Amino acid sequence: MSEIVFQDVTKVYPGERVALDHLTITIARGEFFSLVGPSGCGKTTALRILAGLEEPTGGRVHIGGRDVTDIEIHQRNLGIITQENLLLQHRSAGGNIGFPIEGLRRRTRIDARARVEFEAAGLGIGHLLDRKPATLSEGERRLVQLARAIISSPSVLLMDEPLAFLEAQMRARLHTAIRQIHDERGMTIVLVTASQHDAMALSDRIGVLIDGVLHQIGSPHDVYSRPATAAVARFFGEPSMNVLAADVLGSSPAEGTQLEILGQVVTMWTPLLADYVGRSVLVGVRPEDVVIGAEASRGIEAHVHATEPLGSATLTEVSTLDGPTLSCRLPGSAPPIGTVLDIGLRPERLHLFDPATELAFLHPPARR
Ligand code: ATP
């Protein structure tokens, strides 16, 4: 059953800025859905429209089977963590967490203090209830915000960058807490984030938004291993895929199809390239599928211009004589800047995109 529906939602801000272009998404009850995309792609706008903080220019929004497009935020029964709904500084952490159920307490005489203590204990912040927000760490404040967002047991929880600017350990703690809330309470969660890492770690499905247009919806594994468009390929993955133009030279059943990429000729065995002979295609290659040295026989000359050691491997940016730079994930320690490498692309690991539509038409088998 669907819990949330964006139906053809468009948002045009003053100045003709199209932030969302006919966005249609259906999110199932109990699903953990993340909307990701580069800065300015319209993610926050989509969440604000869902929350009732922003009106769409066109289209409808449904929550729990009800059209809520014209309904006020407080009638939508949502838990919200946005960049605006910060904690009230003059209240204690406990006062902040209990704030949403204050009216409820008067009407139903629920034991608000017990509810606050219950939510706080669940998130491991029971000892912080009497402290003012200013005396808490950034991570502790986020946990207080989370407790406040779930205390009235909303069926839907919306979160805009709840993990931004946290160090790794606190991030991991919040990951666990958020995932636990989702799994134990069956809440539908919509997360908006620029962090693919968070989206991959937490979500059942991911929607990729680029320039206000939804390019793909799929499982984290699907979006990573089968990007639907070249734009998704250029965005998704840390670092993302290299996308390069290639000329399709010739094709025969006996000799396969030859593509020239950055001066190197590679052979691919797929009938899907036959129609592109004499034209170009876009090829995508993940940094881990760029090889060097002997494996790159008759390779592409490339100059190292930046490196980032990862421990067992090094992320290396190289520039090629033809111009494009490539990201490579090379085994071992960092090569010195300026080193000339012989690099190659594994033909069996290439993704192919149509150059006109940028739609993918071939993916390599996913890695296990
Ligand atoms: P970020 O990750 O940087 O927060 P985002 O993907 O959440 O970006 P939005 O905040 O939804 O993007 O903004 C989408 C586009 O709409 C941007 O180009 C932004 O400048 C523009 N925009 C957002 N709010 C307004 C506004 N109130 N008035 C005019 N333009 C706006």
Q: CA separation (Å) from 281 to 141, 243, 247, 364?
A: 49, 10, 7, 16
pTM (whole model) above 0.75:
yes
pLDDT along the chain (368 residues), means of 10: 89 92 96 94 95 94 93 86 81 93 66 89 93 92 93 92 85 91 92 91 95 96 95 91 94 90 89 92 94 71 89 88 86 86 89 97 84
- Reported as a single tens digit per residue, the pLDDT across 221-249 is 999 999 999 999 999 988 899 999 999 99
Q: Which residue has the least CA distance to atom 27 on ligand 1?
A: 13
Tokens describing residue 72: 């006020």
- Reported as a single tens digit per residue, the pLDDT across 6-52 is 999 999 999 888 999 999 999 999 999 999 999 999 999 999 999 99
305 CA from centroid of ligand 1 (Å): 33
Determine what percent of the chain is predicted with pLDDT higher than 70: 95
Q: Which residue has the least CA distance to atom 18 on ligand 1?
A: 40
Q: Which residue has the least CA distance to atom 16 on ligand 1?
A: 19
Ligand 1 pocket list (CB less than 6 A): 13-14, 17, 19, 37, 39-45, 194
Q: Which residue has the least CA distance to atom 28 on ligand 1?
A: 13
Task: Report the candidate in 62, 27, 36 with the shortest Cα–Cα distance to residue 214.
Answer: 36
Distance of alpha carbon 214 from alpha carbon 9, whole angstroms: 11
